[in-house]
Chain A
Amino acid sequence: MNILETKGLTKSFGGVTANSDLDINIEKGSITGLIGPNGSGKTTFINVVSGVHKATSGRVIFNGQDITNFDKHKIARAGIARTFQTIRLFERLSVLETVLVARHASFGAKIWDAVFSTPKLKMANAREEARAKELLEIVGLGKQHYHQMGNSLPYGYRRSLEIARALALEPSLLLLDEPAAGMNREEFNFLQDIILNVKQQGITILLVEHTMELVEAVVDHCVVLNYGQKLTEGPFCDCESDPRVIEAYLGKEEAEC
Protein backbone atom coordinates (compact mmCIF):
# COMPACT_ATOMS: atom_id res chain seq x y z
CA MET A 1 0.00 0.00 0.00
CA ASN A 2 1.30 3.45 -0.88
CA ILE A 3 1.29 6.14 1.77
CA LEU A 4 2.22 8.84 -0.72
CA GLU A 5 1.56 9.01 -4.44
CA THR A 6 2.33 11.85 -6.76
CA LYS A 7 0.65 12.00 -10.13
CA GLY A 8 2.24 14.07 -12.86
CA LEU A 9 3.72 16.42 -10.27
CA THR A 10 5.32 19.41 -11.99
CA LYS A 11 6.94 22.47 -10.50
CA SER A 12 8.43 25.25 -12.58
CA PHE A 13 10.15 28.41 -11.43
CA GLY A 14 9.70 30.80 -14.33
CA GLY A 15 11.29 28.97 -17.23
CA VAL A 16 13.06 26.34 -15.14
CA THR A 17 11.20 23.09 -14.63
CA ALA A 18 12.54 21.69 -11.36
CA ASN A 19 10.11 18.78 -11.21
CA SER A 20 8.63 17.48 -14.40
CA ASP A 21 5.71 15.08 -14.50
CA LEU A 22 6.82 13.01 -11.52
CA ASP A 23 4.93 9.85 -10.61
CA ILE A 24 6.50 8.71 -7.38
CA ASN A 25 4.98 6.15 -5.04
CA ILE A 26 6.17 5.59 -1.53
CA GLU A 27 5.23 2.35 0.12
CA LYS A 28 3.97 2.47 3.66
CA GLY A 29 6.56 1.48 6.27
CA SER A 30 9.48 1.61 3.86
CA ILE A 31 12.47 3.84 3.51
CA THR A 32 12.58 5.31 0.04
CA GLY A 33 15.75 6.97 -1.14
CA LEU A 34 15.49 9.91 -3.51
CA ILE A 35 18.83 10.45 -5.20
CA GLY A 36 20.20 12.27 -8.18
CA PRO A 37 22.89 14.79 -9.05
CA ASN A 38 22.81 18.37 -7.73
CA GLY A 39 19.96 20.36 -9.19
CA SER A 40 17.95 17.31 -10.17
CA GLY A 41 14.92 18.46 -8.19
CA LYS A 42 15.08 16.38 -5.01
CA THR A 43 14.65 19.24 -2.57
CA THR A 44 11.98 20.79 -4.78
CA PHE A 45 10.07 17.53 -4.55
CA ILE A 46 10.20 17.65 -0.74
CA ASN A 47 9.21 21.31 -0.80
CA VAL A 48 6.19 20.65 -2.98
CA VAL A 49 5.05 17.66 -0.94
CA SER A 50 5.40 19.57 2.33
CA GLY A 51 3.57 22.61 0.93
CA VAL A 52 6.54 24.99 0.97
CA HIS A 53 6.17 25.39 -2.80
CA LYS A 54 2.87 25.26 -4.65
CA ALA A 55 2.80 22.67 -7.41
CA THR A 56 2.46 24.01 -10.96
CA SER A 57 0.42 20.98 -11.93
CA GLY A 58 -0.14 17.42 -10.85
CA ARG A 59 -1.39 15.97 -7.61
CA VAL A 60 -0.06 14.78 -4.28
CA ILE A 61 -2.10 12.00 -2.67
CA PHE A 62 -1.35 11.22 0.96
CA ASN A 63 -3.13 8.27 2.57
CA GLY A 64 -5.70 8.41 -0.20
CA GLN A 65 -6.42 12.09 0.35
CA ASP A 66 -5.55 14.80 -2.16
CA ILE A 67 -3.35 17.26 -0.27
CA THR A 68 -1.96 19.17 -3.26
CA ASN A 69 -1.18 22.78 -2.32
CA PHE A 70 -2.55 22.53 1.21
CA ASP A 71 -1.14 25.02 3.71
CA LYS A 72 2.13 23.92 5.28
CA HIS A 73 0.73 23.58 8.77
CA LYS A 74 -2.18 21.48 7.52
CA ILE A 75 0.16 19.09 5.74
CA ALA A 76 2.29 18.90 8.87
CA ARG A 77 -0.72 18.11 11.03
CA ALA A 78 -1.99 15.59 8.50
CA GLY A 79 1.17 13.60 9.23
CA ILE A 80 3.96 14.68 6.89
CA ALA A 81 6.94 16.01 8.83
CA ARG A 82 10.20 17.22 7.37
CA THR A 83 13.69 18.44 8.09
CA PHE A 84 15.62 21.00 6.08
CA GLN A 85 18.74 20.78 3.99
CA THR A 86 20.22 23.71 5.89
CA ILE A 87 19.22 23.21 9.50
CA ARG A 88 16.40 25.52 10.56
CA LEU A 89 16.06 25.72 14.32
CA PHE A 90 14.51 28.50 16.37
CA GLU A 91 17.26 30.88 17.37
CA ARG A 92 16.04 31.78 20.84
CA LEU A 93 14.28 28.60 21.90
CA SER A 94 15.78 25.90 24.07
CA VAL A 95 16.05 22.28 22.97
CA LEU A 96 12.98 21.25 24.93
CA GLU A 97 10.95 24.24 23.74
CA THR A 98 11.89 23.55 20.13
CA VAL A 99 10.33 20.11 20.31
CA LEU A 100 7.33 21.45 22.21
CA VAL A 101 6.58 23.87 19.35
CA ALA A 102 5.70 20.92 17.18
CA ARG A 103 3.53 19.47 19.98
CA HIS A 104 1.34 22.58 19.77
CA ALA A 105 -1.70 20.87 18.28
CA SER A 106 -1.63 18.12 20.89
CA PHE A 107 -2.05 20.58 23.76
CA GLY A 108 -5.77 20.78 23.07
CA ALA A 109 -5.87 23.97 25.15
CA LYS A 110 -7.22 27.39 24.31
CA ILE A 111 -5.90 30.87 24.93
CA TRP A 112 -8.10 31.18 28.03
CA ASP A 113 -6.44 28.14 29.52
CA ALA A 114 -3.18 30.05 29.26
CA VAL A 115 -4.58 33.31 30.65
CA PHE A 116 -6.22 31.66 33.66
CA SER A 117 -3.53 28.98 33.99
CA THR A 118 -6.17 26.25 34.22
CA PRO A 119 -5.55 22.70 35.49
CA LYS A 120 -6.25 21.53 31.94
CA LEU A 121 -3.23 23.48 30.71
CA LYS A 122 -1.01 22.27 33.53
CA MET A 123 -1.90 18.70 32.69
CA ALA A 124 -1.24 19.30 29.00
CA ASN A 125 2.10 20.90 29.85
CA ALA A 126 3.22 17.92 31.90
CA ARG A 127 1.97 15.44 29.31
CA GLU A 128 3.60 17.17 26.34
CA GLU A 129 6.86 17.77 28.15
CA ALA A 130 7.08 14.08 28.98
CA ARG A 131 6.49 13.19 25.33
CA ALA A 132 9.04 15.75 24.16
CA LYS A 133 11.62 14.23 26.49
CA GLU A 134 10.87 10.76 25.11
CA LEU A 135 11.46 12.05 21.59
CA LEU A 136 14.71 13.73 22.58
CA GLU A 137 15.79 10.45 24.11
CA ILE A 138 15.18 8.69 20.78
CA VAL A 139 17.51 11.08 18.94
CA GLY A 140 20.14 10.95 21.66
CA LEU A 141 19.62 14.28 23.41
CA GLY A 142 19.68 13.84 27.17
CA LYS A 143 18.73 15.86 30.23
CA GLN A 144 21.84 18.02 30.11
CA HIS A 145 20.70 19.47 26.76
CA TYR A 146 17.08 20.35 27.59
CA HIS A 147 17.68 23.96 28.45
CA GLN A 148 20.50 24.72 26.04
CA MET A 149 19.67 26.91 23.07
CA GLY A 150 19.09 24.71 20.03
CA ASN A 151 21.60 26.61 17.93
CA SER A 152 24.36 26.27 20.52
CA LEU A 153 24.44 22.48 20.08
CA PRO A 154 27.16 20.77 18.06
CA TYR A 155 26.27 20.13 14.45
CA GLY A 156 25.22 16.51 14.76
CA TYR A 157 22.97 17.26 17.71
CA ARG A 158 21.31 20.08 15.81
CA ARG A 159 20.40 17.58 13.10
CA SER A 160 19.06 15.26 15.79
CA LEU A 161 17.01 18.07 17.31
CA GLU A 162 15.48 18.84 13.95
CA ILE A 163 14.50 15.20 13.59
CA ALA A 164 13.04 15.21 17.12
CA ARG A 165 10.99 18.27 16.25
CA ALA A 166 9.70 16.54 13.12
CA LEU A 167 8.87 13.40 15.10
CA ALA A 168 6.97 15.53 17.61
CA LEU A 169 4.23 15.89 15.00
CA GLU A 170 3.70 12.12 15.33
CA PRO A 171 4.02 11.86 11.55
CA SER A 172 3.30 8.84 9.42
CA LEU A 173 5.70 10.10 6.76
CA LEU A 174 9.04 11.73 7.48
CA LEU A 175 10.90 13.65 4.78
CA LEU A 176 14.62 13.93 5.46
CA ASP A 177 16.51 16.39 3.26
CA GLU A 178 20.21 15.48 3.22
CA PRO A 179 20.46 14.68 6.92
CA ALA A 180 24.00 13.31 6.66
CA ALA A 181 25.50 16.32 4.88
CA GLY A 182 28.64 17.50 6.65
CA MET A 183 28.60 14.84 9.36
CA ASN A 184 31.65 13.13 10.77
CA ARG A 185 31.87 9.36 11.09
CA GLU A 186 30.52 9.15 14.61
CA GLU A 187 27.57 11.44 13.87
CA PHE A 188 26.95 9.53 10.68
CA ASN A 189 26.70 6.16 12.43
CA PHE A 190 24.41 7.63 15.03
CA LEU A 191 22.15 9.15 12.36
CA GLN A 192 21.90 5.76 10.69
CA ASP A 193 20.74 4.24 13.99
CA ILE A 194 18.15 6.98 14.43
CA ILE A 195 16.75 6.45 10.94
CA LEU A 196 16.42 2.68 11.41
CA ASN A 197 14.92 3.23 14.84
CA VAL A 198 12.32 5.60 13.40
CA LYS A 199 11.47 3.08 10.70
CA GLN A 200 10.96 0.42 13.32
CA GLN A 201 8.28 2.58 14.89
CA GLY A 202 6.28 2.28 11.71
CA ILE A 203 7.10 5.69 10.28
CA THR A 204 7.65 5.80 6.54
CA ILE A 205 10.71 7.76 5.46
CA LEU A 206 11.67 9.56 2.29
CA LEU A 207 15.40 10.12 2.35
CA VAL A 208 17.09 12.63 0.07
CA GLU A 209 20.81 12.05 0.36
CA HIS A 210 24.10 12.33 -1.44
CA THR A 211 26.02 10.05 0.90
CA MET A 212 25.55 6.77 -0.93
CA GLU A 213 26.82 4.82 2.03
CA LEU A 214 23.80 5.90 4.04
CA VAL A 215 21.41 5.30 1.17
CA GLU A 216 22.80 1.84 0.60
CA ALA A 217 22.58 0.98 4.28
CA VAL A 218 19.01 2.01 4.97
CA VAL A 219 16.80 2.29 1.89
CA ASP A 220 14.40 -0.37 0.65
CA HIS A 221 13.66 1.33 -2.61
CA CYS A 222 15.36 3.99 -4.61
CA VAL A 223 14.14 6.68 -7.01
CA VAL A 224 16.67 8.48 -9.19
CA LEU A 225 15.98 11.97 -10.50
CA ASN A 226 17.81 13.80 -13.24
CA TYR A 227 16.92 17.24 -14.62
CA GLY A 228 13.64 17.09 -12.72
CA GLN A 229 12.55 13.86 -14.28
CA LYS A 230 12.45 10.33 -12.96
CA LEU A 231 15.39 8.49 -14.46
CA THR A 232 14.76 5.11 -12.95
CA GLU A 233 13.66 3.36 -9.77
CA GLY A 234 14.18 0.06 -8.03
CA PRO A 235 16.39 -1.52 -5.40
CA PHE A 236 19.53 0.49 -4.66
CA CYS A 237 21.95 -2.03 -6.17
CA ASP A 238 20.09 -1.95 -9.48
CA CYS A 239 20.03 1.82 -9.58
CA GLU A 240 23.68 2.02 -8.63
CA SER A 241 24.80 -0.09 -11.57
CA ASP A 242 22.38 1.42 -14.09
CA PRO A 243 24.51 3.04 -16.82
CA ARG A 244 22.04 5.94 -17.11
CA VAL A 245 22.47 6.74 -13.43
CA ILE A 246 26.24 6.56 -13.68
CA GLU A 247 26.08 8.85 -16.67
CA ALA A 248 23.87 11.32 -14.83
CA TYR A 249 26.32 11.51 -11.95
CA LEU A 250 29.63 11.24 -13.76
CA GLY A 251 28.95 12.10 -17.39
CA LYS A 252 29.50 9.95 -20.45
CA GLU A 253 32.65 7.95 -20.74
CA GLU A 254 34.96 9.18 -23.47
CA ALA A 255 34.72 6.76 -26.36
CA GLU A 256 37.95 5.10 -27.50
CA CYS A 257 40.73 6.72 -25.58
Chain B
Amino acid sequence: MNRPAAACLAACIATGTMLTAAAAATVRFRVVDFAGKPIKDAIVYAVPDTPLPPAKPRTAIIDQVNRQFVPQINVVQVGTYVDFPNSDNILHSVYSFSPAKTFVLRLYAGKTEPPVRFNKPGIVVMGCQIHDTMIAWLLVVKTPYFGKTNAAGLLVLHHLRAGRYRMHAWDVSMRKVTASRPLVVTAGGPPRQITFTLKAGRMPRHGPTMPGMSAGMGMQ
Protein backbone atom coordinates (compact mmCIF):
# COMPACT_ATOMS: atom_id res chain seq x y z
CA MET B 1 0.00 0.00 0.00
CA ASN B 2 2.67 2.27 0.96
CA ARG B 3 4.47 1.61 -2.14
CA PRO B 4 1.92 3.03 -4.54
CA ALA B 5 1.70 6.12 -2.44
CA ALA B 6 5.46 6.57 -2.46
CA ALA B 7 5.55 5.90 -6.13
CA CYS B 8 2.89 8.39 -6.66
CA LEU B 9 4.81 10.89 -4.64
CA ALA B 10 7.93 10.25 -6.58
CA ALA B 11 6.07 10.49 -9.81
CA CYS B 12 4.65 13.70 -8.70
CA ILE B 13 7.95 15.07 -7.95
CA ALA B 14 9.30 13.87 -11.24
CA THR B 15 6.29 15.06 -13.12
CA GLY B 16 6.59 18.29 -11.32
CA THR B 17 10.12 18.69 -12.45
CA MET B 18 9.30 17.69 -15.91
CA LEU B 19 6.38 19.88 -15.77
CA THR B 20 8.40 22.83 -14.76
CA ALA B 21 11.01 22.16 -17.47
CA ALA B 22 9.81 20.22 -20.51
CA ALA B 23 7.56 17.73 -18.79
CA ALA B 24 10.75 15.71 -18.20
CA ALA B 25 13.78 15.89 -15.88
CA THR B 26 17.52 15.83 -16.30
CA VAL B 27 19.69 14.01 -13.77
CA ARG B 28 23.39 14.38 -13.51
CA PHE B 29 25.46 11.37 -12.39
CA ARG B 30 28.89 11.20 -11.14
CA VAL B 31 30.68 7.87 -10.72
CA VAL B 32 33.78 7.69 -8.59
CA ASP B 33 35.77 4.97 -6.90
CA PHE B 34 36.41 4.75 -3.20
CA ALA B 35 39.32 7.06 -3.60
CA GLY B 36 37.04 9.64 -5.11
CA LYS B 37 38.58 9.23 -8.47
CA PRO B 38 36.14 9.55 -11.37
CA ILE B 39 35.49 6.34 -13.26
CA LYS B 40 35.32 6.65 -17.00
CA ASP B 41 33.05 4.47 -19.12
CA ALA B 42 31.01 3.41 -16.18
CA ILE B 43 27.47 2.62 -17.23
CA VAL B 44 24.63 4.17 -15.34
CA TYR B 45 21.04 3.28 -16.02
CA ALA B 46 17.73 3.93 -14.43
CA VAL B 47 14.99 1.40 -14.43
CA PRO B 48 11.53 2.90 -13.80
CA ASP B 49 9.41 1.16 -11.31
CA THR B 50 6.56 1.42 -13.68
CA PRO B 51 7.03 -0.86 -16.62
CA LEU B 52 7.42 1.02 -19.80
CA PRO B 53 5.61 0.20 -22.95
CA PRO B 54 7.61 -2.05 -25.30
CA ALA B 55 9.92 0.00 -27.37
CA LYS B 56 10.56 -0.25 -31.04
CA PRO B 57 13.66 -2.41 -31.68
CA ARG B 58 16.70 -0.40 -32.38
CA THR B 59 20.14 -1.28 -33.82
CA ALA B 60 23.50 -0.54 -32.26
CA ILE B 61 26.89 -0.97 -33.86
CA ILE B 62 30.05 -2.44 -32.30
CA ASP B 63 32.74 -1.96 -34.87
CA GLN B 64 36.07 -3.86 -35.03
CA VAL B 65 38.94 -1.51 -35.72
CA ASN B 66 42.65 -2.30 -35.34
CA ARG B 67 41.88 -5.54 -33.55
CA GLN B 68 39.76 -3.77 -31.07
CA PHE B 69 36.06 -3.61 -30.54
CA VAL B 70 34.89 -0.01 -30.85
CA PRO B 71 33.43 0.88 -28.53
CA GLN B 72 34.58 -1.60 -26.04
CA ILE B 73 31.97 -0.87 -23.47
CA ASN B 74 28.40 -0.70 -24.64
CA VAL B 75 24.96 -0.58 -23.25
CA VAL B 76 21.72 -1.35 -25.07
CA GLN B 77 18.07 -1.80 -24.20
CA VAL B 78 16.73 -5.34 -24.30
CA GLY B 79 15.67 -6.28 -27.79
CA THR B 80 18.28 -4.16 -29.50
CA TYR B 81 20.06 -5.51 -32.55
CA VAL B 82 23.78 -5.06 -32.53
CA ASP B 83 25.65 -5.03 -35.74
CA PHE B 84 29.32 -6.25 -35.65
CA PRO B 85 30.93 -4.77 -38.74
CA ASN B 86 34.59 -5.64 -39.39
CA SER B 87 36.52 -2.57 -40.35
CA ASP B 88 39.89 -4.36 -40.32
CA ASN B 89 41.30 -5.97 -43.39
CA ILE B 90 41.70 -9.20 -41.47
CA LEU B 91 39.09 -11.73 -40.50
CA HIS B 92 37.48 -11.73 -37.07
CA SER B 93 35.15 -14.18 -35.47
CA VAL B 94 33.07 -12.64 -32.74
CA TYR B 95 31.67 -14.92 -30.06
CA SER B 96 30.10 -14.82 -26.67
CA PHE B 97 29.62 -17.56 -24.15
CA SER B 98 27.88 -15.19 -21.76
CA PRO B 99 24.65 -16.54 -20.38
CA ALA B 100 22.84 -13.33 -21.43
CA LYS B 101 23.67 -14.07 -25.00
CA THR B 102 25.66 -16.90 -26.50
CA PHE B 103 26.57 -16.57 -30.11
CA VAL B 104 29.41 -17.16 -32.53
CA LEU B 105 29.88 -15.24 -35.70
CA ARG B 106 31.92 -17.19 -38.21
CA LEU B 107 35.02 -15.62 -39.64
CA TYR B 108 34.11 -12.66 -41.68
CA ALA B 109 35.21 -9.35 -42.97
CA GLY B 110 33.22 -6.22 -43.67
CA LYS B 111 29.53 -6.24 -42.92
CA THR B 112 28.53 -9.70 -44.02
CA GLU B 113 27.10 -11.00 -40.77
CA PRO B 114 23.61 -10.21 -39.67
CA PRO B 115 23.11 -8.18 -36.53
CA VAL B 116 22.68 -10.05 -33.29
CA ARG B 117 19.59 -9.34 -31.21
CA PHE B 118 20.08 -9.11 -27.45
CA ASN B 119 16.79 -9.84 -25.85
CA LYS B 120 17.89 -10.80 -22.38
CA PRO B 121 19.15 -8.40 -19.83
CA GLY B 122 22.62 -9.10 -18.51
CA ILE B 123 26.27 -8.69 -19.14
CA VAL B 124 27.54 -10.05 -22.39
CA VAL B 125 31.25 -10.35 -22.88
CA MET B 126 32.35 -10.83 -26.44
CA GLY B 127 35.64 -11.81 -27.88
CA CYS B 128 37.25 -12.76 -31.11
CA GLN B 129 38.14 -16.40 -31.66
CA ILE B 130 41.29 -15.36 -33.45
CA HIS B 131 42.37 -12.46 -31.28
CA ASP B 132 42.18 -13.14 -27.57
CA THR B 133 42.95 -9.52 -26.74
CA MET B 134 39.77 -8.28 -28.38
CA ILE B 135 37.16 -7.98 -25.68
CA ALA B 136 33.90 -6.02 -25.70
CA TRP B 137 31.35 -5.62 -23.02
CA LEU B 138 27.69 -5.14 -23.69
CA LEU B 139 25.28 -4.42 -20.91
CA VAL B 140 21.75 -5.29 -21.88
CA VAL B 141 19.28 -3.31 -19.77
CA LYS B 142 15.48 -3.15 -19.51
CA THR B 143 15.27 0.64 -19.76
CA PRO B 144 15.85 3.27 -22.33
CA TYR B 145 17.48 5.48 -19.71
CA PHE B 146 21.16 4.65 -19.67
CA GLY B 147 24.51 6.13 -20.56
CA LYS B 148 28.32 5.99 -20.10
CA THR B 149 30.36 8.34 -17.97
CA ASN B 150 32.86 10.59 -19.60
CA ALA B 151 36.48 10.97 -18.59
CA ALA B 152 35.34 13.09 -15.64
CA GLY B 153 33.06 10.29 -14.51
CA LEU B 154 30.03 12.39 -15.39
CA LEU B 155 26.87 11.40 -17.17
CA VAL B 156 23.75 13.48 -17.77
CA LEU B 157 20.48 11.73 -18.38
CA HIS B 158 17.81 13.96 -19.97
CA HIS B 159 14.18 13.53 -20.44
CA LEU B 160 13.55 11.36 -17.49
CA ARG B 161 9.88 11.22 -16.92
CA ALA B 162 8.82 11.98 -13.46
CA GLY B 163 8.46 8.87 -11.53
CA ARG B 164 10.26 6.39 -9.36
CA TYR B 165 13.40 4.72 -10.62
CA ARG B 166 16.00 2.34 -9.54
CA MET B 167 19.36 3.71 -10.41
CA HIS B 168 22.24 1.30 -11.27
CA ALA B 169 25.88 1.86 -11.92
CA TRP B 170 28.31 -0.74 -13.35
CA ASP B 171 31.85 -0.87 -14.41
CA VAL B 172 33.52 -3.60 -16.44
CA SER B 173 35.62 -4.52 -13.51
CA MET B 174 32.49 -5.57 -11.70
CA ARG B 175 31.40 -9.09 -12.14
CA LYS B 176 27.77 -8.03 -11.72
CA VAL B 177 25.67 -4.94 -11.25
CA THR B 178 25.50 -4.36 -7.57
CA ALA B 179 25.31 -0.64 -7.09
CA SER B 180 21.73 0.49 -7.12
CA ARG B 181 19.68 3.07 -5.46
CA PRO B 182 16.21 4.40 -5.76
CA LEU B 183 15.49 7.70 -7.46
CA VAL B 184 12.39 9.76 -7.64
CA VAL B 185 12.26 12.02 -10.57
CA THR B 186 10.01 15.02 -10.44
CA ALA B 187 9.44 17.25 -13.38
CA GLY B 188 10.85 20.67 -13.07
CA GLY B 189 13.24 21.95 -10.49
CA PRO B 190 16.96 22.22 -10.74
CA PRO B 191 18.89 19.29 -12.26
CA ARG B 192 19.79 16.78 -9.62
CA GLN B 193 23.17 15.27 -9.23
CA ILE B 194 23.67 11.74 -7.98
CA THR B 195 27.03 10.33 -7.14
CA PHE B 196 27.83 6.61 -7.28
CA THR B 197 30.81 5.29 -5.47
CA LEU B 198 31.93 2.00 -6.98
CA LYS B 199 34.29 -0.55 -5.61
CA ALA B 200 35.59 -1.16 -9.02
CA GLY B 201 37.53 1.12 -11.19
CA ARG B 202 40.52 -1.14 -11.90
CA MET B 203 40.76 -4.03 -14.25
CA PRO B 204 42.11 -7.27 -12.75
CA ARG B 205 45.71 -7.68 -13.71
CA HIS B 206 45.19 -10.74 -15.81
CA GLY B 207 41.85 -9.69 -17.15
CA PRO B 208 38.47 -9.71 -15.64
CA THR B 209 36.74 -12.85 -14.86
CA MET B 210 33.71 -13.59 -16.77
CA PRO B 211 30.63 -11.80 -15.37
CA GLY B 212 27.82 -14.10 -14.52
CA MET B 213 29.93 -17.19 -14.75
CA SER B 214 31.11 -17.32 -11.23
CA ALA B 215 29.20 -20.39 -10.27
CA GLY B 216 29.02 -23.83 -11.70
CA MET B 217 30.39 -24.26 -15.08
CA GLY B 218 29.49 -20.66 -15.89
CA MET B 219 26.37 -21.83 -17.50
CA GLN B 220 23.07 -20.68 -16.09
Partners in one complex: no
